Amino acid sequence: MRIAVLANGAWDLEWGKQVLKAVDFLICADGGANYAALTGRIPNLIIGDLDSITPEVLNQCENAGCVIERFPCEKDETDLELALICAEEQACLVRERDIWLYGGTGKRIDHFMGNIALMLSYAKKGYRIRLVDPYHESWILQRQEVIRGSIGQELSLIALSEKAVVTTDGLYYPLHQGELLQDSPRGISNVFLGEEVVIQVHSGWVLVVLRIKV
């Protein structure tokens, strides 16, 4: 079951129509509902202070039976944070560990950095937030994973902890228990040698950024 959150960041309409077809349960963080409406998709839940959603879309979703949870503008959590709490509850019900996040990049760098912080918070709880836009797919890795791609496809590894110890197999610039530091871009812009890469994180937390070929 694919559980997804749609935020109010950058959005590509044609791409969005395709990715939302694969979503079984859609939660929109406030203005993300505007994007869902443009694709013809009624979300299961809209949550936030509702200062970004248009009145027309709000009425459309209410009439279609969408659950609306309104919060005050002055609150401790961001709209996306509230949406991810609901996504976690839904994921727990169906024993799913992946939560897909769309509309989480672009527009505002402060929101984007906050989204990375949320991804790390959920990774520490055992969930993987898959942040996807038309050009990248990003997630946080702590242990070992096989990543499939194509020859020449770009992949970056960025340490989110003070230090991460990493071994890779299948990348042009290999690491053998190499150190990635939080204050260094050493792991940026590596490339696939074949169609499969193995990454093992021995210690620390690593953000994986896979460049999607378009």
Assess whether 148 and 185 both reside in one domain: yes
Beta-strand pair 3-6/98-102? parallel
Q: What is the number of domains present in the chain?
A: 2
What is the model's pLDDT at position 120? 97
Assess whether 31 and 65 both reside in one domain: yes
**Rounded alpha-carbon distances, angstroms, from residue 125 to 50, 69, 102, 115, 202:** 28, 24, 20, 16, 18
Assess whether 168 and 86 both reside in one domain: no
**CATH of residue 199:** 2.60.120.320
Assess whether 178 and 105 both reside in one domain: no
| DSSP state for residue 182 in the 8-state scheme | T
**CATH of residue 82:** 3.40.50.10240
What is the model's pLDDT at position 76? 85
pTM of the model: 0.93
Reported in sequence order, the residue ranges of the chain that DSSP labels E, i.e. its strands, are 3-6, 25-29, 45-48, 67-70, 98-102, 128-132, 136-141, 144-148, 154-159, 163-169, 178-181, 190-191, 196-203, 206-211
- Cβ pair 204, 164 in contact under 8 A: yes
Assess whether 92 and 169 both reside in one domain: no
What is the model's pLDDT at position 214? 56
pLDDT of the chain, 214 residues: tens digit per residue: 999 999 999 999 999 999 999 999 999 999 999 999 999 999 999 999 999 999 999 999 999 999 999 999 888 899 999 999 999 999 999 999 999 999 999 888 999 999 999 999 999 999 999 999 999 999 999 899 999 999 999 999 999 999 999 999 999 999 999 999 999 999 999 999 999 999 999 999 999 999 996 5
Assess whether 50 and 102 both reside in one domain: yes
Domain that holds residue 192: 141-211
Assess whether 78 and 182 both reside in one domain: no
Assess whether 53 and 117 both reside in one domain: yes
What is the model's pLDDT at position 167? 98
Assess whether 156 and 73 both reside in one domain: no
Among 88, 112, 134, residue at a domain's last position: 134
- Cβ pair 103, 35 in contact under 8 A: yes
The dihedral built from the CA positions of residue 174, 112, 75 and 96, taken in this order, carries a sign that is negative
- Cβ pair 201, 142 in contact under 8 A: yes
What is the model's pLDDT at position 213? 67
Among 134, 166, 191, residue at a domain's last position: 134
Which pair of tokens denotes residue 2? 């694919």
Assess whether 100 and 199 both reside in one domain: no
- Cβ pair 173, 129 in contact under 8 A: no
Assess whether 70 and 10 both reside in one domain: yes
What is the model's pLDDT at position 74? 85
Assess whether 9 and 108 both reside in one domain: yes
CA atoms of 210 and 181, how far apart (whole Å): 19
